[in-house]
Amino acid sequence: MHILLVEDAKSIARVMTLRLESHGHTVSHAINGERAVAMFSQGGPDLILMDVEMPVMNGFVAARQIRALEAELEWAWTPIIFLTSTDTVENLIAAIDAGGDDFLFKSAPEAVLRAKLTAMSRTAQLRQRLAQANAQIQRMADHDGLTGLYNRRYLDTELARLWAQSTPEGTEVAVLMLDVDNFKKYNDRYGHHEGDHCLKSVAAAIEAVVAQIAADGLCPQAFAARYGGEEFTVVLPCVTDAAYASVPERVLQAILGLRLKHESNPPLGFVTASVGASRAKPQAMSAAVMIQHADARLYEAKRGGRNQAVI
């Protein structure tokens, strides 16, 4: 385990560090509660051994602040064992109330220390497995099973969050609605298996463009989602004029660049797409209305001959 030892007395900290390392654990040291909270926020340990009485910030206050930080995270709970020189009922109650999990004498026998560490190691491993399982469940809930892009559920949730977040800032958000041209004819001609391959390839092309514009700094928070069927969405939060002007065309070129044969899609004979886009400050319209505007422009692109963007 990675253990955060919080102890102001240097001599005790040295001895305790040697004892912990002798059991195969790695140890980081904080000299007071305030430093412990700062170190915890930079990367959570597997276990915290926390002295109670310390200058600047005592262990009980530090534990409460650490629990407050964990409350903002998914499946976060780091075991905290309080270290003390006095065993009183009042200290035990205060430790539990502060969010502690156990109590340990600083001079506890080696066998007791080993047993406490073994128990907390099990808790840390269980927490890690729960976090991994939760992350996998969350990914399955947020991502489209075929293409791997975000799904409609995530899109709706994230747009709602962006609207709430962006409103006070007065920033603009852009939405691109994208539809694969003549996709029904593609399925009819090549079969649904090839249709699925087509959608996965188109999704990968869109995702590559989104990743590139994020890397270029044009729109770091951009993301793509599968809207449904052969329709996709690209969301550009805090969008700049440069990103709004260039991203639709970059997406179209990336899809055409796949050179996927589509003989029922004249005149090029390859898979293409049409894009409609809209942007606005969230104060000006709802996310639903903005998608409607982008969708209307998508159908303008379709009527205009496909393989084009209307923004």
- For range 49-70, the mean pLDDT: 90
| Residue-wise pLDDT tens digits, 159-203 | 998 888 765 666 889 999 999 999 999 999 999 999 999 999 999
CATH fold match for the domains 2-139 and 152-310:
no
Largest Cα–Cα separation, the chain = 85
Q: What mean pLDDT value characterizes the chain?
A: 89
At residue 167, the pLDDT reads 59
At residue 111, the pLDDT reads 84
Catalytic residues: 230
**CATH classification of 152-310, choosing from 3.30.70.270, 1.10.10.10, 3.40.50.300, 3.20.20.70?**
3.30.70.270
* Residue 101 contacts residue 126 (beta carbons within 8 Å): no
Domain boundaries, the chain: 2-139, 152-310
Instruction: Kindly compute the dihedral angle of the four CA atoms of residues 290, 296, 298, 300, in this order, to the nearest 10 degrees.
Output: -150
Q: Which fold has domain 2-139?
A: Rossmann fold (3.40.50)
pLDDT higher than threshold 90 for residue 143: yes
Q: Cα dist. 118→14, 25, 49, 285 in Å?
A: 21, 11, 14, 57
Residue 28 gets which letter from DSSP? E
Per-residue confidence at 3, pLDDT binned at 50, 70, 90? very high
